[in-house]
Amino acid sequence: MFKVIKTEDYDEMSDQAFEIVKEIVTAKPDCVLGLATGSSPIGLYERMVRDHQENGTSYADVKTVNLDEYLGLLIDHPESYFSFMQKNLFSGIDILPSNTYLPRDGEDKLEQCKKYDEILDELEIDVQLLGIGSNGHIGFNEPGTAFDSKTHVVDLKESTRRDNARFFDSIDEVPKQAITMGIGSILKAKKILLIASGENKADAIAAMINGPATTEVPASALQQHPDVTVIVDQAAASKL
Ligand code: F6R
């Protein structure tokens, strides 16, 4: 079930998302947050850091699990999702590094997927934050991914590599593969919070909410979830 909150712009989207996350962290200081990377959550993470510094909201007992990570980048590469999380959130709050989990690259990819599923089996995610790809992906679950999928290796679609090329010197440097939490694991979160801004997300948002549930639009799997809050700015909501 979708609850849709429409906002004026990115900043208001970030404000609203922050209110929801803060309420969860305050009510349950040892909650498990499912986190995302990319442009969408940066404003939310800025607010979490500011609130921690100004109001002392503590993350000392919080655990986090991230959705995905590129394959083929060294962990300290500036564009690895590990680096993204350190830079945009973890270094600014009092979370313990041992309480933060991201899928990891490694020699044996299947073993890495299995290890991440073991972590996900142990943790119950209180809220899973999601962005959405212009092709409807959630995490790096590209079109065609089964709705009951677990952690797996994906070949990134050209459209996804093009979308993400803005973070790299050229598209050639964008990794071709990633490791991602599966849609099945995302659906197990107690609550889902999906944020989107900009016109290039409008088709994906409309298909997720009003289209048929189809693996061609991975986000349409969320139609099965009982508690999904979608916060969209005007441009991303323009086709609803
Ligand atoms: C990132 C992730 C992706 C992004 C999506 C939107 O961890 O899982 O699904 O949320 O690609 O990216 P942005 O927010 O950069 O438009």
pLDDT of amino acid 150: 98
Q: What pTM was estimated for this model as a whole?
A: 0.97
Residue 150 CA to ligand 1 center (angstroms) comes to: 18
**Ligand 1 in reach of 95 Cβ (< 6 A):** no
What per-residue confidence (pLDDT) applies to 99?
Answer: 98
Q: Which uninterrupted H or E stretch holds 236?
A: none
Residues contacting residue 17 through CB under 8 Å, at least 6 positions apart:
41, 43, 44, 129, 193, 195, 231
What pLDDT does residue 1 have? 86
Would the CB of 197 count as within 6 Å of ligand 1? no
- The span from the first CA to the last CA of the chain, in angstroms, equals 16
> What pLDDT is stored for residue 225 in this prediction?
98
Sign of CA dihedral 101, 146, 124, 133: positive
Provide the pLDDT for residue 218: 98
Q: Which pLDDT value is given to residue 29?
A: 98
Ligand 1 site, residue 63, Cβ cutoff 6 A: no
Ligand 1 center to 143 CA (angstroms):
14
What gap in Å lies between CA 236 and CA 174, rounded to an integer? 25
Determine if ligand 1 sits within 6 Å of the CB of residue 138: yes
pLDDT mean values, one per 10 residues, the chain (240 residues): 97 98 98 98 98 98 98 94 98 98 95 98 98 96 97 94 93 96 98 98 98 98 98 98
Give catalytic residue positions: 68, 135, 137, 142
